[in-house]
A and B are shown apart, each in its own frame.
Chain A
Amino acid sequence: AQTVTQSQPEMSVQEAETVTLSCTYDTSESDYYLFWYKQPPSRQMILVIRQEAYKQQNATENRFSVNFQKAAKSFSLKISDSQLGDAAMYFCAYRHMYSGGGADGLTFGKGTHLIIQP
């Protein structure tokens, strides 16, 4: 079974600084997607960024970027120029894709609570 580990229960960063959230995963599969979701106090789950395992290039979305190390099974999220609105729980997630089509559900890590200090 696949597992996702987020080793940082809580992180704190000053506004406008850069912070990196860690995520590792364990799988024997070769075809999968990785995601970061954000959950603010409203509890809505919001997609931040996704990465296809077959792509070597790291995904970026504005101030958000990932460092995807497939051999090390590591998938960290970097937030640049942190803003107060970035304060939330951040979840790393894995999704296995089947070669013949189809996919499993998401397996989530336990989350990292990100605090932004003004």
Chain B
Amino acid sequence: DAGVIQSPRHEVTEMGQEVTLRCKPISGHDYLFWYRQTMMRGLELLIYFNNNVPIDDSGMPEDRFSAKMPNASFSTLKIQPSEPRDSAVYFCASSSGTLPDLSGANVLTFGAGSRLTVL
């Protein structure tokens, strides 16, 4: 497996523009997570899905942020309109709750991250 795939790796946009970040989880994983990393706030959980259903979106900062998971192999995180304070690295991660324990059940595997800069 190629691991968790995120795109784009880097995004520079202007304030007010729409930003869409994409994630392909590891095949067979039933959990998908979106995290944001900044120097000030560290790693924050934004939202997570189980079997494509959003379970907890309490970390989504405001209505400008939305996330979808239309199928088991794809998720998006959208920011509309974007603001300079949204500048951060956004990570997607996936995990399986059903693997045998020795195979790493319940371990999150992270993508390489998407670095977003909003000017």
Q: Which residues of A contact B (CB under 8 A)?
A: 33, 35, 37, 42-45, 47, 50, 52, 91, 95, 97, 101-111
Q: In the complex, are the beta carbons of B91 and A50 less than 8 A apart?
A: no
List the interface of chain B (C-beta within 8 A of A): 31, 33, 35, 42-43, 45, 48, 50, 56, 89, 91, 93, 95, 97, 101, 106-110, 112-113, 115
| Given A101-B97, A102-B97, A108-B42, residue A95 in contact with residue B113 (CB < 8 A) | no
CB <8 Å contact, B107 and A35: yes
Chain B residues near A37 (CB, 8 Å)? 110
Contact of A106 among B97, B101, B108, B113 (CB under 8 A): B108
Instruction: Tell me whether A106 and B50 are in contact (CB under 8 A).
Output: no
Question: Given A102-B50, A105-B48, A111-B42 in contact, is the A44-B106 Cβ separation under 8 Å?
Answer: no
Identify which of B45, B89, B109, B112 contacts A105 (C-beta below 8 A). B45
Whole-angstrom CA separation of A108 from B33 in the bound complex: 13
Contact A103 B31 (CB under 8 A): yes
Q: What are 15 pairs between A and B in contact, CB < 8 Å? A: A35-B108, A43-B112, A44-B113, A45-B91, A45-B93, A47-B109, A50-B107, A91-B43, A95-B106, A105-B45, A105-B48, A105-B56, A106-B33, A106-B108, A107-B45
Q: How far is the CA of A33 from the CA of B97 in the complex (A)?
A: 12
A47 to chain B, nearest CB (A): 6
The answer, among A47, A91, A102, for a CB contact under 8 Å with B107, is: A47
Closest B residue by C-beta to A35: B107
Q: What CA separation (Å) do A37 and B112 show in the bound complex?
A: 14
Q: A104-B48, A105-B33, A106-B93 are in contact. List 14 more A-B contacts (CB 8 A).
A: A35-B107, A35-B108, A43-B112, A45-B113, A47-B108, A47-B109, A52-B101, A95-B106, A101-B97, A103-B31, A105-B45, A106-B33, A106-B108, A108-B43
